[in-house]
Amino acid sequence: MTSLLTQGLPQTSNANAASLARFVAREGLPTEIVQQVDGLYRPLADAILARRGQSAGALVVGLCGPQGSGKTTGARVLAHLLNAAGVRSALLSLDNLYLTRAERAALARSAHPLLMTRGPPGTHDTAMGQRLLRDLAHGTATLMPSFDKARDDRAPPSRWQAAAGPAEVIVFEGWCVGARPQSADHLKTPINTLEETRDADGVWRRFVNEQLAGPYQKLFGRIGMQIMFRPPDFSVVLGWRLEQEHKLRARALARDDPPASILSDEQVAEFIQYYERISRHIDAEMPNRADIVVSLDKERRPINLTKLGGLSTAARAN
């Protein structure tokens, strides 16, 4: 895959490739990233640089992709490339914004039991997200919250890390970053077993949609550029999510204390049903307005990169 956009970064030299390889090894990222940099990550960085040149302040780049699609890894690589090019960049994950376990328990009691499960709109602190975007853009340093998925709770502040600022580019990644709500008519019919058996009256999905239409749009309204990682079909997401959980399980079991929240394969299959409705809606709606769509094959390899307006190129799977 060749760059579709103005080449703002030089092609990978031996020195740059070595630097990227060291970054990949240090961060524990997949080694194939080094081979994909000129075909995927550098064109994306080029596009961000071009848009940054048109932005009066910090550019917030929304990076949307379903569970296991590689969006978190992609965000880290993009920030590394931009920082290496002299553009101070910061990362914000939607996962950083999860409500605490206690807060979700209270929400489950007051609104709907399904809101105990993290992930869907309504289970994040969107006000915190807006503060973090503001502070990253204007502050000298910002303390970034983190979420411990193995314990299904926000990590204590002693484990939070500071991000240097002010940032010129903020890469904001998450499974529904930039998503828009559905119409009321689309909410009437359940789309999976979870909705049929545990939300037959539609209370949960209406609440989630109202949250997406309200506070989440205020948060996503700060996005100045939208990138989408698009799977071949939602059916592949289960396999991708199982890979994630198996890695999380292995790390958690290596700890001295037992984890509070590790999912079995059967629980993972149920878990992704919480995300299915919005994921399918994103797949149908976002490609028509995203600035760049990266189409992936079932192995998460990029096979096409499309810029809004129809300009596209085929990618050779690495």
Question: pLDDT tens digits, residue range 260-314?
Answer: 567 788 888 999 999 999 999 999 999 999 999 999 999 888 998 988 654 444 4
Residues 156-177: what's their mean pLDDT?
95
Residue with tokens 């600022």: 165
Residue 7: pLDDT band by 50, 70, 90 thresholds?
Answer: very low
Q: Which pLDDT score is estimated for 14?
A: 53
The pTM assigned to this predicted structure is: 0.88
What are 227-261's pLDDT values in tens digits?
999 999 999 999 888 887 887 777 667 665 555 56
How much is the average pLDDT of 26-36?
Answer: 77
- Average pLDDT, rounded, for the chain: 87
Lowest model confidence (mean pLDDT) among 19-23, 39-43, 226-230, 292-296: 19-23
Using DSSP's 3-state secondary structure scheme, residue 112 falls into coil
Q: Binning pLDDT at 50, 70 and 90, where does residue 132 land? A: very high
Classify burial at 21, counting beta carbons within 10 Å of its beta carbon; exposed 0-12, middle 13-18, buried 19 or more.
Answer: middle
**pLDDT (0 to 100) of residue 311:** 44
Share of the chain above pLDDT 70, in %: 88
Residue burial 189-216, b: 16+ Cβ < 10 Å; e: rest: ebeeebbeeebeeeebbebbbebbeebb
215 pLDDT band (50/70/90 cuts)? very high
Beta bridge partners of 225: 61
Instruction: For residues 260 and 109, give the distance between their C-alpha atoms in angstroms, rounded to a whole number.
Output: 21
- Range of lowest pLDDT (99-108, 165-174, 233-242): 233-242
pLDDT at 177: 98
Q: What pLDDT, on the 0 to 100 scale, is given for residue 315?
A: 41
Most confident range (mean pLDDT) of 23-27, 41-45, 182-186, 313-317 is 182-186
* pLDDT score of 165 more than 90: no
